[in-house]
Every structure is written in C-alpha cells, then in structure tokens.
Amino acid sequence: IAGITQAPTSQILAAGRRMTLRCTQDMRHNAMYWYRQDLGLGLRLIHYSNTAGTTGKGEVPDGYSVSRANTDDFPLTLASAVPSQTSVYFCASNRQGVGSEAFFGQGTRLTVV
C-alpha cells in the first residue's frame, strides 16, 4: 500500500521558473491538501480540494495554483518561483467528514535560488 506519494523529493529551482509538485494517493480519499512547512511557523495550508473538480484557497495561496482532475492526483504549480517559496511542501489526504485522519506524503524540499 503506497498511501500518498509526492515527487520530486527535492528540487533546486531558479527564480522565475515554473514548477509542478506532484501528489498521488491510492486510498480513494475525497479530500486533498497542500501545506508548506517553514521553520518556526509550523504547517500552513496553501490550497485544498474537497472532491474531484473543486478546489479552494487556504491561508497562503498567493503564487500557487492547483487542479483536481480526478480523485487520485492533486498537483501544485508555482507559475513563477520566488525565493520566499523556498520551503518543504507536504501533500495530505483524508476521507473528509468530521474527525477523519489525515495522511501525509513524505514531502518535497524546494529551494528557489
């Protein structure tokens, strides 16, 4: 059972470049989320999707976009990367509904130079 898989594991990206972080889950979870983790700030929600075909903005959505074409995949795109987007990015999923455990991927460490 793979659970939730992110790719790439790490990436160094030149400022101004476009980048898509991939996330796939095999648990048939309805809801998926993207968080960024920064030292001293914990994990903050970027975008979410409650079901295929719908997306919403989280706490820190600027500079990021997402799509949810099907249940399993939830890619995060940085249209034009900036150094402040250097972070560790985590994708998560759950069944949705009150009190549903969220499962996290192993993270993507992104450095924008």
Partner 1 sequence: GENVEQHPSTLSVQEGDSAVIKCTYSDSASNYFPWYKQELGKGPQLIIDIRSNVGEKKDQRIAVTLNKTAKHFSLHITETQPEDSAVYFCALEGSQGNLIFGKGTKLSVKP
Interface mask toward partner 1 for 16-55; x: CB under 8 A: ---------------x-x------xxxxxx--x-x-----
Query: What is the rounded CA–CA span in Å between residue 9 and residue 48?
Result: 21
Least separation in angstroms between CB 80 and partner 1: 26
Kindly tell me which of 68 and 105 has the beta carbon lying closer to partner 1: 105
DSSP string computed for 7-65: E-SEEEE-TT--EEEEEEESS--SEEEEEEEETTTEEEEEEEESSTT--EE-SS-TTEE
What are the residues binding partner 1 (CB under 8 A)? 31, 33, 40-45, 48, 50, 56, 58-59, 90, 92, 94, 96-102, 104-107
